[in-house]
Structure 1
Amino acid sequence: MSNLPLFRDPWAKREAWRKSPVFSNRVMFRNLFPGFGIAVVAFTAYVIADNVYLSTQTQDASHH
């Protein structure tokens, strides 16, 4: 006899997508805010550049 179970689920193939790693909670949470990481890096770079630019501008204005 084969080692297959006696009763097989005829819908198992059609329900397999539910167990796909694409639909895991971790992946769903990661894709909740697409582009958020890039936006944080871009905003941080903007704030640092703005602070550096303004600090050099205020130092130049105070010397005059």
Structure 2
Amino acid sequence: MSEQLPLHRDPWAKREAWRKNPVFANRVMFRNLFPGFGIAVVAFAAYVAIDNYVLSNQDSHKHESSHH
């Protein structure tokens, strides 16, 4: 006959269950730490790239016109 181990129930299991919810996983928490950060980085990079392109074109036109 196999012996059964005594079943011990944790009275705090229901109160601790939220910790195992996937919403509170480290990856999700880190991703939600700075909402919109990824979009802001892309927008800022695009702004800097366009600004450098426009300014370099304006500077080259100024130098061309001043030499003539």
- The alignment's TM-score, normalised by the length of structure 2, stands at 0.74
Please give the root-mean-square deviation of Cα atoms over the aligned residues, in Å.
Answer: 1.8
For residues 8 and 45 of structure 2, the distance between their equivalents in structure 1, rounded to whole angstroms, comes to: 59
TM-score by length of 1: 0.77
- Please give the alpha-carbon distance, in whole angstroms, between the structure 2 residues aligned to 1:12 and 1:58: 68
Q: In 2, Cα distance between the equivalents of 1:6 and 1:60?
A: 83
Q: How far apart are 1:10 and its partner, in Å?
A: 4.2
- 1:30 and 1:61 map into 2 onto residues whose CA distance is 46
Match for 1:17: what amino acid? W
How much identity, in percent, do the aligned residues show?
A: 73
Alpha-carbon distance between aligned partners in 1 of 2:27 and 2:37, rounded to the nearest angstrom: 16
CA distance in 1 between partners of 2:7 and 2:29 (Å): 36
Gaps of 5+ in 2: 1-5
Distance 1:11 1:59 in 2: 72
Segments ≥4 residues shifted beyond 6 Å? none
Give the Cα–Cα distance (whole angstroms) in 1 for the partners of residues 48 and 7 of structure 2.
66
Which whole-Å CA distance do the structure 2 matches of 1:63 and 1:37 have between them? 39
Aligned residue for 2:55? 54
- Distance in 2, matches of 1:56 and 1:9, equals 71
